[in-house]
Copies of this chain bind each other. A is one copy, B any other.
Amino acid sequence: MSAGVPQRPPGCSSQTLQKSFPILRWLPHYSLPCLKLDLIAGLTVGLTVVPQALAYADVAGLPAQYGLYSSFMGCFVYCLMGTSKDVTLGPTAIMSLLVSFYTFGDPALAVLMTFLSGCIQLAMGLLCLGFLLDFISYPVIKGFTLAVSLTIGFSQIKNLLGLHNIPQQFFLQVYDTFRRIGETRAGDATLGVLSIVALLVLKLMKSHIPKIHRGMPLWLRLCYLTVWLTATARNALLVIAAGLIAYSFQVMGSQPFILTGKTAEGLPPFRLPPFSNGTVPFMSMVQDMGAGLGVIPFMGLLESIAIAKAFASQNNYRIDPNQELLALGITNILGSFVSSYPVTGSFGRTAVNAQTGVCTPAGGLFTGALVLLSLAYLTPLFFYIPKATLAAVIICAVAPMFDTKVFRTLWKVKKLDLLPFFATFLLCFWEVQYGILAGVIVSGILLLYPVARPQIKVYDQENLVVQPLSGLSFPATEYIRDRLYEVALAASPPRSVVLDCSHLNTIDYTVVAGLNDLQQEFQRKGVSLSFSDLQDPVFRVLLAAKFTGPGSFRIQGEARGKEDQQEADSSSHSSLLPAVNNSPEILAE
């Protein structure tokens, strides 16, 4: 098909093993400087994931410990199987929201969902179905992200203000939150707003630190380093600070904040995912999950691969999307044994990982270890973390996703792409799967419309020359027949038509049959239909169809007197074919 593309040699067993476990490629060259960088990056990510995990569990509608249960398996599996040094798998805001949609705050359902999602992702990886992601267009992804970030961000307002019993559904939530804004608890609101301000200031400081170099005085370098560390671990520091404040109040006997409260202590048990839920049998659990069984694995893939590709491109390496699928699938399957809810690649933490200078996926080991240590020794302390602070962590995490620039960009670049964007965006507030489905359908229609109604240019020369500006496939058959007929018979007397096929590189039998019918219709009217500028594959198909009538094919370029433009790959096709009647029959009864 092309020149100069290297072909991968047929796999031998050692290469296959290296492909399945990319760790075998980088481990032999692993070095001490790498270890140092990975250790720093891994711990930094760990300091981010622990508070985020506690917060996201609330978005998912699950007890806080489930966030941590979901945060370590991905680190270990990805270290063995991942093809990107930067990606970190774990709970994310979007996944958490989807989990809350489809599992209704039932941990058993969430864990079973993890197992089934993992199986589906693994199967997709093994069947190389990753290409299905190609059919999700950019406007759909953007519409989905915007809607979901708004939903997640708003869902935390109630925690920020200390409101109770706000419904889950987005529109009801907005209505109820505003209606009951008077019930705001002063303590929670103050802490929440202060937490957001603190996070924003730290983030801003981080982006304004100049690059540290050896020419600087030591005290300045130390100062910058401290700021950098504080800013990078800001989530963890904030949660610790807020926890200490809440603990102090508790000790003093008054508590102005709503706290996380009692969470299960210690590591999660290692056991089979729950294939039945008390009296609820397996099939009925699966039915409860409904469309989630499609949406969750698919969005997991999409998020994970999009992130991997983005960072691979930024840091100059390539990933293997199918291997990423396998890694994600296995993470979820194994995760379901330690009560994880479905995980995927996290954009925020992957960015932290990359910025801290991670060297190999080994960084994940330290992240995972930190999560396990927190679970083993810190769970009793989680009791004191105020919910308003966790809400602030989430709001600051999803805020960058609410990027409205995309609207202006689409308006400026391609207005038609606003249709799938808005279809997805608006319907996602109703139900996420309808939003994605609508976006895919609308972009499918935009994709198929030009296939069914190709643009046509008509040149009036010796004969009329009709040139489709894109290919012709079966949905265009009737349209092109009607247009050619109209064009030929608009003149009086009717005029012969030349179909300029320069943009056709393939043709199917339905089109051939339609053109054959039309050619006979033209003959009855005393005019001709012929073809010019045929590329080889199209010419061969028309030849095989034994096109009737003399002079069906014109010498290439004759039609519009232009030069042979495809000398490299197609020669000029001019022939007189015997008038064999091979008219295709239609549905007969």
Contact = CB atoms under 8 A, between A and B. Distances in A.
A513 B2 contact: no
B139 A509 contact: yes
Given A508-B137, A586-B309, A2 B93 contact: no
Contacts of A451: 447, 451
Residue with the highest number of chain B CB atoms closer than 10 Å, among A313, A406, A450, A541: A313
Interface string A465-490: 01001110111111100010111001
Interface stretch (A25-33, A106-114, A218-226, A411-419): A411-419
A302 B587 contact: yes
Given A139-B509, A412-B545, 12 more contacts: A6-B486, A137-B509, A138-B584, A145-B588, A303-B587, A348-B588, A400-B588, A414-B508, A414-B512, A455-B505, A503-B503, A565-B565
Interface in A84-99: 92-94
B4 A490 contact: yes
Contact of A470 (B93, B505, B587): B505
Top 9 A-B pairs ranked by shortest CB distance?
A347-B589, A138-B510, A137-B474, A469-B505, A2-B458, A134-B475, A417-B509, A413-B544, A414-B509
A291 B428 CA distance: 29
Interface string A543-574: 01100000000000000001101001100000
Which size bracket describes the interface of A in this complex? 35 or more
Q: Give the copy number.
A: 2
Contacts of A141: 586-587
Contacts of A398: 589
A401 to B, nearest CB: 5
Nearest to A302: B587
B474 A517 contact: no
Q: Which of A456, A460, A466, A505 has the most CB of B within 10 A?
A: A505
A483 B5 contact: yes
A93 B4 contact: no
A409 to B, nearest CB: 7
A72 to B, nearest CB: 18
A134 B477 contact: yes
A589 B456 contact: no
Contacts of A507: 414
A508 to B, nearest CB: 6
A139 B346 CA distance: 46
A587 B456 contact: no
Nearest to A304: B587
Contacts of A457: 1-2, 568-569
Nearest to A344: B589
A68 interface: no
A458 B4 contact: yes
A189 to B, nearest CB: 26
A103 B481 CA distance: 38
Nearest to A557: B565
A259 interface: no
Contact of A589 (B94, B410, B455, B513): B94
Given A505-B469, A562-B565, A585-B403, A4 B487 contact: yes
B510 A4 contact: no
